[in-house]
Structure 1
């Protein structure tokens, strides 16, 4: 009996070995390398192996770091709330108001059309629209809504958040729509027969059953916004900062130990946020 168990255990580990090797080489090993380099020392011209906490001490003692993290968390929260509202609304419409499966698939594919181009192209496409002499300002002035162009439409925090919402809303739509499609419509009919209003059905049936999809979409959006740097750079015109851009600047200055320390703190922050979200729902049922 024991030999049979050992044989089955050995076969199981042998079957798992390819994915373990792949994850170990492409995920665990790079993370360990980043953590190791974060303790190294550096000068203006070079960096060298060492074991010290100077990079972390400077990181946590700097007021710039705290302001950048607060700005990044603000971007993340507003983007998450906006994408959740839009994503839930679109998914709800597709799942419960579109009866034909072919129409559902067609409308869903329509949502993916912007993703047929690169993120950068979709991002910079807002520049001629939001610019001082762009389409938005020209239309508002022609309608008499404003007398002079709005300066805050482009190269501002508003432009950054708008680009984030545009780029990442689909990551919220897909998991919520997938979860809603699994909801048994007989539950909704039973609630309606029991006298529940539309609002009560939404809050007591649909939203609770959609929590796994909401959490998966939230994880996608939070991680993407927290690690983004190119969107903040382009859409803010250099007037805003994020943690990702801070790391990018440190890499550009060849300050790899400092960039590694910032990356470790960012990773820990994102993992903490994800662990908090996972306490509200068990997404393993969805996966």
Structure 2
């Protein structure tokens, strides 16, 4: 005769443990609220204020948002705001594509072609060397190379490949894109490399035993298993490029517009409500992009 089984213990946490968990989370919650939620609430609040040449005028008005999209209803010519957003989206898309290809290639090489873990670590650290200096210094270092009298133009002229220096190498869309790729490719390498290192190597051997080619294994095995890293890296790169104004200003010679640059200029002219309204719109667009990317994969489940 079977004896009755003992009742399973309740999964409900003890009240003391639950209270202790809340106390442990309180410092981080307070820091998050003070340094993120409160400033964000202030920006949203100021975006509805009015202003003049001398002071801010607390109140509630949609004047700033209307001013941002002033003239955008004209179908004959695109307004300045839409042109600026299209320019920003262009840089964002091009930089994302280039950093994705470079980040995936470097990560694949480190994860699957370097067998020694020590060598993997060494090469990975070498990839981080550019981060040992400031972004501004890394950007300025391109000026002696790409300028009209820079090393690249001098080499091309000396080799007879061009008759005169190439003007578009510096202070152009090319130089801005090059600087973005130089600065932010590492943000794509790190999460993709982390995802690749977690792939079970027996899956690759099984694909090879099944007769799959290298490209088929890459596309049907490696890429799907790296989608979490790809999405995380894409979020990093897209959000940084969307709000960047230093790179656009330095490498664009103050001649190329972006949303971040407009906000910076408006702030320098003390047009804080207008800058806050632009920041709120930019934040909303970035959040929608992040939401769309996170729909492709459940990052919390995959990590």
1:54 partnered with 2:70:
no
1:17 partnered with 2:33:
no
Which residue is equivalent to 2:74?
none
Which residue is equivalent to 1:202?
218
Of 236, 242, 245, 1:220 maps to 236
Residues 179-213 of structure 1: per-residue CA shift (max 9 Å, x gap): 00000000000000000000000000000000000
Which residue is equivalent to 2:260?
244
Structure-2 separation of matches of 1:13 and 1:98: 44
Shift of 1:259: 0.5
Alignment of 1:127-276 (within 5 A): 127-276=143-292
Which residue is equivalent to 1:41?
50
Which residue is equivalent to 2:5?
none
Structure-1 separation of matches of 2:14 and 2:40: 34
8 Å contact 1:130–1:154 — kept in the other structure? yes
Secondary structure of 2:296's counterpart equals coil
Which residue is equivalent to 2:107?
91
Residues 145-172 of structure 1: per-residue CA shift (max 9 Å, x gap): 2111110000001100000000000000
Structure-2 separation of matches of 1:10 and 1:135: 64
Structure-2 separation of matches of 1:110 and 1:19: 33
Residues 205-255 of structure 1: per-residue CA shift (max 9 Å, x gap): 000000000011001101110110011001111110111110000000000
8 Å contact 1:179–1:286 — kept in the other structure? no
Moved runs in structure 1, 4+ residues, more than 4 A? 3-8
Q: Bigger shift: 5-14 or 204-213?
A: 5-14
Structure-2 separation of matches of 1:36 and 1:250: 17
Structure-1 separation of matches of 2:68 and 2:239: 21
Structure-1 separation of matches of 2:144 and 2:13: 69
Structure-1 separation of matches of 2:68 and 2:255: 21
8 Å contact 1:84–1:172 — kept in the other structure? yes
8 Å contact 1:213–1:286 — kept in the other structure? no
Structure-1 separation of matches of 2:17 and 2:61: 46
Structure-1 separation of matches of 2:17 and 2:116: 47
Structure with the higher fraction of residues in helix conformation: 1
Alignment of 1:69-80 (within 5 A): 69-80=85-96
Gaps of 5+ in 1: none
Gaps of 5+ in 2: 1-9, 72-78
Secondary structure of 1:61's counterpart equals coil
- The structure with the larger Rg is 2
Structure-1 separation of matches of 2:27 and 2:284: 27
Report the CA distance shift for 1:137/1:36 in structure 2 as closer, same or farther (over 3 A).
same
Q: Bigger shift: 137-146 or 148-157?
A: 137-146
Residues 250-273 of structure 1: per-residue CA shift (max 9 Å, x gap): 000000000100110011111010
